[in-house]
């Protein structure tokens, strides 16, 4: 789909969607593109800036949480922000290896320490069923960017 800004001979400006640029040309050539305001068939495309997606690096940067977010307002937001700060300051982020690391510590194969990370729901359920002490956190970990 493509959207064009159009203008009729009577200077009415309007937008319209077309399946493709070729579809617009075909419809316009057959006189089927008319002004949405006055019905005039003498319509031309206006100069437009294309809608361009940002590069992957720009999109990834936009997806990162901003460091200058507004401070938490409600008591719940403040409590979650305090919990996040406590967890991040006193725990090691192990990322997607959380389930494996928690299991290793529980089985005595690695030293016990405070960790946090991410686990699939089925991995978390299996940890709980096996008696590994875990709990979900009310926030998503911040993503580390290179």
What digits encode the pLDDT tens for the residues 83-139? 989 999 999 999 899 999 999 999 999 999 999 999 998 999 999 999 999 988 888
CA atoms of 51 and 17, how far apart (whole Å): 14
- pTM of the predicted model over 0.75: no
Q: Enumerate the domain spans of the chain.
A: 2-45, 71-146
Q: Where are the beta strands (DSSP E) in 1-146?
A: 2-8, 13-18, 43-45, 92-95, 115-117
Token couple for 59 = 């999109």
**3-state class (DSSP) for residue 47:** coil
CA nearest 120: which of 135, 98, 89? 98
């Amino acid at each position: 789909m493509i959207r064009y800004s159009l203008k009729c001979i009577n200077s009415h400006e309007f937008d319209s969607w077309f399946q493709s640029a070729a579809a617009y040309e075909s419809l316009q050539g057959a006189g089927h593109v008319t002004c949405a305001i006055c019905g005039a068939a003498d319509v031309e495309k206006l100069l437009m800036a294309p809608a361009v997606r940002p590069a992957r690096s720009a999109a990834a940067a936009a997806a990162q949480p901003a460091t200058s977010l507004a401070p938490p307002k409600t008591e719940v937001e403040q409590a979650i922000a305090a919990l996040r700060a406590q967890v991040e300051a006193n725990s090691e982020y192990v990322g997607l290896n959380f389930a494996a690391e928690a299991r290793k510590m529980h089985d005595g194969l690695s030293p016990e320490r405070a960790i946090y990370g991410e686990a699939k729901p089925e991995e978390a359920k299996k940890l709980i069923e096996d008696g590994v002490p875990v709990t979900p956190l009310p926030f998503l970990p911040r993503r580390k960017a290179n």
